[in-house]
Amino acid sequence: MSNKAQDWPEGVARHVLERTDSTMMEAARLAPQLAGPAWILALEQTAARGRRGRAWQHPKGNFSATLVIRPWQGVEQAALYSFVAALALDEALAQVAGPHARLSIKWPNDVLLNGGKIAGILLESLGAGGQISHLAIGIGVNLREAPDPGALEPGAMAPVSLRGETGTDIPPTDFLPYLARAFAKYQAQFESYGFAPIRTAWLARAARLGETVTARTTLETVEGRFETINESGAMVLATSAGPRAIAAADIFF
């Protein structure tokens, strides 16, 4: 790890909490008072959650943080920050895990290490009247321990931890600067040049690109070859009935 580990992006606030209900709830409470972007890191969470309201386990020593920003444009552009966050996570983990860690990104919002899930991303918009005032980007990383697989839903990807897979043991407060710096880099790229370079970089790290996957939405199950993601971030599958763009789903390999 470089001596730059403690470098911090200019103009970004940092709040480190010993304990809170969840960093996403804390983000909603803090957002109206924030003058600019802010990271909120909690060493312990009592009511953490993941996508679709699912419980998110937070063993001691793991990373749970939320970044609050004012999104660059409207609702559609705001959703693309999940790809910015995934690239930042991939880069930060690569920096601390070393050259032998096999990292990839699973659509729509997970990061994999050696084929197991090490991190997840959750986006929530904050505002009223259909207007987004802030975007909360929640990030959880299994730095020290993998959650109990028995507590996960059937078919869910097996969890892994950074320490378990690589032997690297880094505290959440030390990991945060790596992630904040990487996010600031990709955010600047996104806001200067749009989604195209983010999409290209994401596809270069995509798990199972070109392979057959199963997408389960609330209404149906679709199987097809993972061809690409389109300009709106939807997964494009080549199916027996032709190409299908999937905007939201759980993906199974």
Q: What is the spatial distance between Cα 134 and Cα 31, in angstroms, rounded to a whole number?
A: 7
End-to-end distance of the chain based on CA atoms, in angstroms? 33
Q: Does pLDDT of 87 surpass 70?
A: yes
Tokens (6 digits) for 188: 């600047």
Q: What average pLDDT does this structure show over 69-81? A: 82
Predicted confidence at residue 2, as pLDDT, reads 43
Predicted confidence at residue 51, as pLDDT, reads 54
Q: Which residue has the higher pLDDT, 48 or 36?
A: 36
Dihedral sign from CA coordinates of 212, 79, 144, 153: negative
Predicted confidence at residue 129, as pLDDT, reads 65
Predicted confidence at residue 115, as pLDDT, reads 94
Predicted confidence at residue 155, as pLDDT, reads 65
Fold that domain 3-203 belongs to in CATH: BirA Bifunctional Protein; domain 2 (3.30.930)
Q: What average pLDDT does this structure show over 195-224? A: 96
Q: pLDDT exceeding 70 applies to what percent of the chain? A: 88
Q: Does pLDDT of 47 surpass 90?
A: no
Q: Does pLDDT of 179 surpass 60?
A: yes
Ranges of each domain in the chain: 3-203, 212-252
* DSSP-assigned letter for residue 20: B
Q: Does pLDDT of 224 surpass 70?
A: yes
Beta partners for 104? 112
Predicted confidence at residue 27, as pLDDT, reads 94
Q: Which CATH number fits domain 212-252: 2.30.30, 1.10.530, 1.20.50, 1.20.950?
A: 2.30.30
Residue 13's pLDDT band (cuts 50, 70, 90) = very high
Least confident of 3-12, 90-99, 120-129: 3-12
Whether the Cβ atoms of residue 104 and residue 207 lie closer than 8 Å to each other:
yes
Q: Does pLDDT of 1 surpass 50?
A: no
Q: What is the average pLDDT value for the chain, to the nearest integer?
A: 90
Residues 119-175 pLDDT 10s: 999 999 987 666 778 999 999 999 999 987 766 666 678 899 999 999 999 999 999
